[in-house]
Amino acid sequence: MGTFDIGGRNLAESRKFKNILANPQVAFVIDDLVTPRPWTVRGIEIRGRAEAIHGHNPSDPHFSSELIRIHPRRILTWGLERENSGMQRRTVSAEAVS
């Protein structure tokens, strides 16, 4: 497993980018309401260390040259597998993200 890169417009001016400069420990969550009836949710949470990177060549012309790179240490998922809707956890080894 590698890293997760997050880009956007004027990223260096964002609070999240500035927060990473002060404290690189992050949690990035993506959640989704699959259906309201029956109530079905799914998601992923990535915990780890983030880098605030300057001078990146963005793939989207609307993005700035900064990005946030997350080196995962722990990944939690829920509702991604139909047969197991509970919380799944995985610790990522340092070698996997080097």
| C-alpha distance across the termini of the chain, in Å | 9
Q: What is the pLDDT of residues 6-65, one digit of tens each?
A: 999 999 999 999 999 999 999 999 999 989 999 889 999 999 999 999 988 888 888 988
pTM of the model: 0.79
| Beta strand ranges found along 2-94 (DSSP E) | 4-6, 25-35, 40-53, 67-78, 87-91
What is the DSSP-derived secondary structure letter of residue 54?
Answer: -
Structural domain spans, the chain:
4-97
Give which of 92, 63, 66, 89 is closest to 76, Cα–Cα: 89
- Fold of the 4-97 domain: Pnp Oxidase; Chain A (2.30.110)
CA distance 21 to 41: 33
